[in-house]
Amino acid sequence: MRRDVSILRGCQDILNTVSGSEGLKRVRSLHQKKYRDEQGLFLVQGRKLVEELMRSSYEVVAIHATAEAAHELGLKDAFIHPGHQLEKLGTLESGNEVVAVVRKPKVRSMAAPAPKGMVLALDGINDPGNLGTVLRIADRFGAEAVWCSEGSVDVFNPKCVGASMGSIFRIPVTYGPLPEALTRVHAAGVHIYKAEGSGKDVFDAELKRPSVLVLGSESHGLSEAVRCEPGSSIAIPNWGGAESLNVAMAAAALCMEFARRNR
């Protein structure tokens, strides 16, 4: 159900920083991680994503839109701008008709999944498009959360938010020391599965829940610290000539098998 933006606006002092001419500069600054971290805000852009946002529990601070987009989306309290100004405000190549300023959610801990649950853990992922796509995969296959190792790409990067196609509003993402988290949940009885080319064929492996599926980058694979953690190594079989898959493709293939086993 769509919510009225006027109900969601944050404190007036924050709102003032994203409304006037100086405020528009602050909005543009959210293209950069440094300022997203400083202000605790990020951008959601485009009609589809803003519609997804309005159905979520995320707190909207302000929305900037063209008159046409605001009318068609029912954004009664949006700040109205001409299209050329919105093009400068957003990061999309085209379609910058509506740009929302949103407060980041509270930081979550890397909590163990539920008895029948699964978490995806990403080790050293640097591409925002890949991370956003992994969020869609986690959302599609019912994962509870996505964990990212320290130094991984920012989930609130505009490219990541866009690639998630709204899944960012449903899948919590936590950053932290991944090896420590794996040690802790393994001790609590969670099954750890590490995606590695040298692992056991996933179709022959025994897949148990609760579980954490750990994936590394296409370029570097899993870090040494994660490889040394307890758990089972699993691999996607190769019937052709492709040497590797990117992290999103690998996540989709492995999550499909985990889901099939859990039907």
Q: What confidence score (pLDDT) does residue 242 get?
A: 86
**What does the angle CA 73 – CA 162 – CA 223 come to, to the nearest 5 degrees?**
155
Domains of the chain from N-terminus onward? 5-103 (3.30.1330.30), 118-261 (3.40.1280.10)
Which residue stretches of the chain have pLDDT < 70? Answer: 1-22
Q: What confidence score (pLDDT) does residue 102 get?
A: 97
Q: Which residues pair with 98 in a beta bridge?
A: 65
Is-contact 65 78, C-beta < 8 A?
yes
pLDDT tens digit sequence for 12-43: 444 445 555 667 889 999 999 999 999 999 99
Tokens of 3: 């919510």
Confidence (pTM): 0.90
Q: What confidence score (pLDDT) does residue 70 get?
A: 95
Q: What confidence score (pLDDT) does residue 123 get?
A: 97
Q: Which of 188, 191, 197, 237 is nearest to 213 (CA)?
A: 191
